Amino acid sequence: MSLSLQLLLLLTLTVRTALTGEYYLYVTDECLTSSSALTDVEFIRTEYFNKYPYARFNSTVGEFVGFTEYGVQTAEYYNSHPYVHQLRSELERYCKPSLGFDFYSVLEKTVKPRVELKAEQQPKGAHTSMLMCSAYDFYPAAIDVYWQKDGKKVTTDVTTTQELADGDWYYQVHSHLEYTPRSGEKISCVVEHASFSEPMVYDLDPSLPESERKKIAIGASGLVLGIILSAAGFIYYKKKSSGRILVPT
């Protein structure tokens, strides 16, 4: 999976506003780029009147362009004024430093997902099984989760949710596979994410269902605890017995 980023940052919203009656004038500044290399950065300033753009400066063009009769007059005035020279310098002064900081501090940060693969309990007598592969606490949101049978990608009987926002910059996603168990078949969940240098493969352990493994783990823990308590009681009993003096009757 190749991850691409198309970045559009509205760095300054409502730079200048004037409200008179029912008329509304405002200006927006935009810095656009498609990569962290910042080789194709554009600075765009657009002037709006009642939500409709009438004049725009583009750093690639190097001057203002008007969209209405008033906008053409405005563009001609700006292009003959030192104001346009100031805007030509905004690409280096404003856009590149700001975008560079945003890429470094936020956009290029990645957090690896925590992946869980388990078999869900099915009604007794069911011939099919339901597997769930879940990825938690990852960033950014773009991720690809899919299934493999014996190394081949599964394209049917798969249901995958959209990336779900946790509300704290992290995301989660869940994929279900309905399948009929076959002896010796290898089932795997594959996760591709920007935080991985290569796809991560998680194999299903067919030895025991998760519920049975939990029961065994709990039983083993209880057995170990019982042995420890028995040993402690025996040692305590021996210590108490060694301090007694037996008197024959």
Q: Strands 42-49 and 52-58: what pairing?
A: antiparallel
pTM: 0.49
More confident residue, 130 or 126: 130
For the segment 196-235, what is each residue's pLDDT rounded down to a tens digit? 999 999 998 766 455 544 544 455 455 556 677 676 666 6
Q: What is the CATH number of the domain that holds 32?
A: 3.10.320.10
CB 103 within 8 A of CB 131: no
Point out the domain boundary residue: 60, 76, 107.
Answer: 107
CA atoms within 13 A on the CB side of 144: 13
Point out the domain boundary residue: 107, 124, 152.
Answer: 107
Q: Give the pLDDT of residue 86.
A: 93
Answer yes or no: do 28 and 46 share one domain: yes
| Residue ranges of E strands in the chain | 7-12, 17-20, 23-33, 42-49, 52-58, 63-66, 114-120, 129-138, 143-149, 152-153, 158-160, 164-165, 171-179, 187-193, 200-203
Answer yes or no: do 13 and 92 share one domain: yes
Q: What is the CATH number of the domain that holds 162?
A: 2.60.40.10
When divided into structural domains, the chain yields a total of 2
- Can you give the residue range of the structural domain that contains 148? 114-203
Answer yes or no: do 81 and 16 share one domain: yes
Which residue has tokens 């002064």?
A: 93
Answer yes or no: do 191 and 144 share one domain: yes
Coil, helix or strand at residue 147: strand
What is the residue-averaged pLDDT of the chain? 80
For the segment 2-47, what is each residue's pLDDT rounded down to a tens digit? 333 334 444 334 444 555 556 788 899 999 988 878 888 999 999 9
Summarize the confidence of residues 43-57 as an average pLDDT.
93
